[in-house]
Amino acid sequence: MHAVAIITLMVAISVTAGAWAQPGYDRPTLAPMTYIRDYGDDHLDNPEFLEYIRANPPELLVLGKDTVLHHSLGPVVGTGGENVGYTRPPHGVRISSEELFEKKRRLTEMVAALHDAGVVLVMPYICTKTIFGRHDTRIGFWDFYDHWDEYADDWDLGPKPADPIEWMRRNADGSLQLTYPFELDRYEPNHRYAACVNQPGWRQHMRNVVRLIAACGYDGCYLDNNAHNECRCDVCQRLFRERMQEKYSADELRELFGFEAPAEIHLATERRGLLWYESCRFWVDSNVEFLTMLRDHAERTRAPFHMFPNPGTWWRSAQEIQDDARIASFIQSEENGFEYGGHSGMVKVPLIGELSCREYNSNALKHKYAQATRSGLRTTMTTRPYLFRQRHAPDFIRMNAESLRANLAEACAFAGGGAKNVQMRWDDRGHITRYRRFVASNQSLFEGYDCYAAVAVMCFARQYFYEAGYEVLHATDAVADELFDAQVPFDLVLEETFSRERLDRYEVVIIPRGTKYLSDDTVSALRDWVEAGGRLIACGGDFARYDTLCREVERDAVAALTAEPGSRRTLGSGTVLYLPDSSPDGGLAAAADLLAGRELTAAPGEHTWDPRSLKLNCFIRGEGTGEARLVLHAVNYSVKLHRTDVEPPIPIEDLRLRLRLPEGMVVSSVTAHDPAAEAPMPLDFTQDDRDLSFTLPRIEVYAAIAIE
Type of residue numbered 641: L
| Strands 574-579 and 568-571, bridge-based pairing | antiparallel
Q: Are residues 586 and 633 in the same domain?
A: no
Query: At 378, which helix (H) or strand (E)?
Result: strand 378-381
- 51 DSSP assignment: H
Q: Are residues 567 and 615 in the same domain?
A: no
How many angstroms separate the CA atoms of 296 and 303, rounded? 9
* Residue 429's pLDDT band (cuts 50, 70, 90): low
Q: Are residues 522 and 459 in the same domain?
A: yes
Asked if residue 544 is part of any domain, the answer here is: yes
276-285, 384-393, 457-466: the lowest-pLDDT one: 384-393
- The HSE-up count of residue 559 (CA atoms within 13 Å, CB side) is 4
- Does residue 646 surpass a pLDDT of 50? yes
Q: Are residues 659 and 537 in the same domain?
A: no
Q: Are residues 583 and 636 in the same domain?
A: no
φ, ψ at 50 (rounded to 5°): -65, -40
Q: What is the pLDDT averaged over residues 161-178? A: 97
Torsion region of 374: left, alpha or beta (phi above 0 gives left; psi -120 to 50 gives alpha): left
- Residues facing residue 83 across a β-bridge: none
How many angstroms separate the CA atoms of 556 and 576, rounded? 15
- Write down the pLDDT at residue 13: 37
20-29, 558-567, 635-644: the lowest-pLDDT one: 20-29
Burial of 288 (0-12, 13-18, 19+ CB in 10 A): buried
Type of residue numbered 262: P
CATH code of the domain containing 473: 3.40.50.880
How many angstroms separate the CA atoms of 122 and 102, rounded? 20
13-17, 600-604, 629-633: the lowest-pLDDT one: 13-17
Average pLDDT, the chain: 91
Q: Sheet containing 652-660: which strands, arranged edge to edge? A: 652-660, 691-699, 685-688
- Does residue 16 surpass a pLDDT of 70? no
- Does residue 361 surpass a pLDDT of 80? yes
Per the CB < 8 A criterion, the answer to whether 31 and 443 are in contact is yes
Per the CB < 8 A criterion, the answer to whether 631 and 619 are in contact is yes
- Write down the pLDDT at residue 599: 97
Task: Give whole-number Cα distances, 235 to 104, 263, 306, 481, 630, in Å.
Answer: 34, 14, 28, 44, 52
What is the per-residue pLDDT across 532-569, written as a single tens digit (0 to 9) for each?
999 999 999 999 999 999 999 999 999 999 999 999 99
Residues in the chain: 708
φ, ψ at 687 (rounded to 5°): -125, 125
Q: Sheet containing 490-493: which strands, arranged edge to edge? A: 490-493, 455-458, 508-511, 535-539, 574-579, 568-571
Percent of the chain at pLDDT exceeding 90: 75
Neighbours of 174 (CB within 10 A): 10
Q: Are residues 472 and 532 in the same domain?
A: yes
- Residues facing residue 704 across a β-bridge: 633, 673
Per the CB < 8 A criterion, the answer to whether 60 and 219 are in contact is no
Burial 655-682 (b: 16+ CB within 10 A, else e): bebbbbbeeebebeebbbbbbeeeebbe
Type of residue numbered 525: A
Asked if residue 646 is part of any domain, the answer here is: yes
Asked if residue 286 is part of any domain, the answer here is: no
* Residue 20's pLDDT band (cuts 50, 70, 90): very low
Q: Are residues 554 and 612 in the same domain?
A: no
Percent helix, strand, coil in the chain (nearest 5)? Answer: 30, 25, 45
Q: Are residues 606 and 589 in the same domain?
A: no
Last residue of a domain, one of 596, 631, 665: 596
How many angstroms separate the CA atoms of 511 and 544, rounded? 10
Asked if residue 671 is part of any domain, the answer here is: yes
Q: What is the pLDDT averaged over residues 668-676? A: 96
Q: What is the pLDDT averaged over residues 221-245? A: 95
Question: Which of 158, 177, 160, 181 shows the shortest CA–CA distance to 169?
Answer: 177
- Write down the pLDDT at residue 701: 97
- 136 DSSP assignment: T
Q: Angle at CA 449, nearest 5°, toward 444 and 451? A: 135
- Write down the pLDDT at residue 37: 86
Percent of the chain at pLDDT exceeding 70: 92
Asked if residue 514 is part of any domain, the answer here is: yes
What is the per-residue pLDDT across 624-639, written as a single tens digit (0 to 9) for each?
888 999 999 999 999 9
- Write down the pLDDT at residue 6: 44
Asked if residue 391 is part of any domain, the answer here is: no
Q: Are residues 564 and 491 in the same domain?
A: yes
CATH code of the domain containing 674: 2.60.40.1180
What is the per-residue pLDDT across 278-294, written as a single tens digit (0 to 9) for each?
999 999 999 999 999 99
Q: What is the pLDDT averaged over residues 147-153? A: 98
Question: Which of 630, 648, 628, 629 shows the shortest CA–CA distance to 638?
Answer: 648
Per the CB < 8 A criterion, the answer to whether 280 and 274 are in contact is no
Q: Evaluate if pTM is beyond 0.85.
A: yes
How many angstroms separate the CA atoms of 377 and 322, rounded? 9
- Write down the pLDDT at residue 3: 45
Q: Are residues 489 and 591 in the same domain?
A: yes
Asked if residue 303 is part of any domain, the answer here is: no
- Write down the pLDDT at residue 550: 96
Asked if residue 475 is part of any domain, the answer here is: yes
- Write down the pLDDT at residue 589: 96
Q: Are residues 559 and 539 in the same domain?
A: yes
- Does residue 23 surpass a pLDDT of 50? no
- Residues facing residue 381 across a β-bridge: 333
Burial 244-282 (b: 16+ CB within 10 A, else e): beeebeeeebeebbebeeeeebbbbeeeeebbbbbbbbb
* Residue 336's pLDDT band (cuts 50, 70, 90): low
Task: Give whole-number Cα distances, 483 to 322, 614, 616, in Å.
Answer: 24, 11, 10
- Dihedral of the alpha carbons of 248, 254, 258, 259, in degrees to the nearest 10: 70
First-last CA distance in the chain: 45
- Does residue 7 surpass a pLDDT of 60? no
- Does residue 10 surpass a pLDDT of 70? no
- Does residue 394 surpass a pLDDT of 90? no
- Write down the pLDDT at residue 432: 73
Last residue of a domain, one of 596, 627, 645: 596
What is the per-residue pLDDT across 481-533, written as a single tens digit (0 to 9) for each?
999 999 999 999 999 999 999 999 999 999 999 999 999 999 999 999 999 99
Q: What is the pLDDT averaged over residues 206-211? A: 98
Last residue of a domain, one of 548, 567, 596: 596
φ, ψ at 582 (rounded to 5°): -150, 170
Give the per-residue SS3 of 609-655.
CCHHHEEEEEEEECCCCCCCEEEEEEEECCCECCCCCCCCCCCEEEE
Query: At 259, which helix (H) or strand (E)?
Result: none
Selection from 5-9, 119-123, 246-250 with the highest mean pLDDT: 246-250
Q: What is the pLDDT averaged over residues 643-649? A: 86
Q: Which structural domain range is residue 491 located in?
A: 455-596
Number of domains in the chain: 2
Query: At 511, which helix (H) or strand (E)?
Result: strand 508-511
Q: Are residues 648 and 564 in the same domain?
A: no
- Does residue 616 surpass a pLDDT of 60? yes
- Write down the pLDDT at residue 22: 42
